[in-house]
Every structure is written in structure tokens, then in C-alpha cells.
Amino acid sequence: MLDIEKIKAEKSTEELLKFSIINIDKPSGPTSFTVSEFIKNSLNVNKTSHLGTLDPMVSGVLPILVGRACRLSDYFMHRDKEYVGIMRLHEDIQEEALKKEINNFVGKITQLPPVRSRVKREERIREVKKFRIIEKNGKDVLFSTLVQAGTYIRKLIHDLGEKIGGAHMLELRRTKAGMFEEKGLHNLYDFEDAVKEYKQGNDSKLRDMLVPAEIISSLIPVAFIKQESLKKCLTGSPIFSSFLEKKDPYNKDDKIVVFLKNQFVGCYRVVNEGEVIAVPEFVFN
């Protein structure tokens, strides 16, 4: 297990800004892209990207990848999401009856993306892992739900409404996106303040916000290479069996992340072709 705090402590703030993540508390109003661009321009870095688009009026967890961490987007992206929201019922029904209908939406469901979505408009299967009522006050219902990535919550509420006489979403907040949760969130005001102090020579607040992108090692199996293999790996070589400190079994098409001790080398796809264990998808050179 890699010690992410140790990795962070060994890097300068400038090094972190080349390969890190900031867990931003997106406010209601701006688009996810606008928030990402604001982070990029404030830090004066070449690139940022966000993990999982939130509608403008939705708030909450919006991890922003900074610098070359953007290349890790696909590895972080396709993870479960958790939300808390308020829906308004068009007709008041008893809580027990509502719970019964909600339970029908737990498990595999078929969704047609909304007209205004950016994805191809065709039915697709998504899994709702949890969907429960927290509190009901007349026609307003506070709910929480844990869903597979790519599930549209507004559409989920609309489809539920079709079974109970109508419902629409009033408010929504994302409380979890994969491994990123509300704990450790930073709002834009605190971020602005941290950047201002950083530019004045005090980097402590900004460093607190920067999560080393090496944290990808907590999601994907880690393989360690020998020192003498590093140069070949950094120039794009596949991972040969002889490169590895330890030869763990990997299944074909699995993803692995490769390190030399605490140094991130890259992300690889397992091929298991003779002595070739894996081929590079992203190398940090």
C-alpha cells in the first residue's frame, strides 16, 4: 500500500500542480466546465478537467484533475455516484406507498437520457444501488440515492413520478463521486483565498487542497518495477515479466498502475502475451 501523504510531502507545490486533484464543492449556478476553467486560469496551469458533469443547478462533489492528472480521467470516472435531493410530488401519497414505488426502482433499470443530454439518446441499462426516503413533508420528499455512473437522477425522479401521478426534482447535491466524498471538499471562495496566498508566497492552504494523483493506486492494482527497468518504461516499453519486482497474476485487459517505489510510472493494460505482461496507456515521462 502506497503512502499518499508521504508522496505528497516529498513533492514541491509546483510538482503537485503538475499531477494532482482538487475536490471542489461546486455551487449551484455555474457549469462544471466553467468551474474547471476557473481552476485552470486561477492556477495558471495548462489543463484541467472534471470528473462527472453536474448540471448547472446541481451542487456538490466535483473533483478537478490538474495538469497531467487529466490523463487519468477514464480510470477515475466510471465509478458509483451518491446524491441527496428534494423531489416534489404532484399528488400527495402516503409514505409507505411511496416507499413501495421507490423500491421498484432499486436494481437494474432502463433509462432514456434526457433530450438536452450530450450522450446519444437511446435506452440503456443502469443500476440504482440505493434509493430511500430521508424525510417527507407533505409533497416534498428529501431522498438519497447511490447509482451507477451515467444514471440521470432528474430522469429517475421523472420516471418515478409517472407511477405516482407526477414528480419533479427541486434540488440535488452530489455527495460522492467514486472515491471522492464531501469530506475534504473545498469551496471556490476558500480556493481563491488559497491561490491568493500561494501567489504571495504562502502555499500551505493550497497544498492542503491538492491530492496527489498517485491516489489512483487505491483504485487499480499496483505493480512495482525494478530500478534498472525505469528508463525503458519511461520511453514507452511494455512491461516485461523481468521488469517486475513481484510477478502477481493479472487477467487479460485488466488495468494496472506501475510504480518504482513511490514514483508513478504509468497506467497499463494487461495483455499476458508471453513475457509481455502489459502495454502502456499513459506514461508519466
Active site residues: 55
Check: CB of residue 188 under 8 Å from CB of residue 24.
yes
Cα–Cα distance, 128 to 104 (Å, whole number): 10
Which cell goes with 250?
493479472
Would you tell me how many other CB atoms lie within 10 Å of the CB of residue 141?
Answer: 22
CA distances (Å), origin 126, targets 86, 105, 111, 146, 251? 21, 10, 7, 11, 25
Check: CB of residue 105 under 8 Å from CB of residue 159.
yes
Residue 162 host element (H or E): helix 153-164
Q: Residue 174 half-sphere exposure, CB side, CA atoms within 13 Å?
A: 35
Cα–Cα distance, 251 to 268 (Å, whole number): 12
Which cell goes with 230?
525505469
Cα–Cα distance, 179 to 114 (Å, whole number): 27
Check: CB of residue 174 under 8 Å from CB of residue 54.
yes
Cα–Cα distance, 240 to 248 (Å, whole number): 13
* Amino acid making up residue 23: N
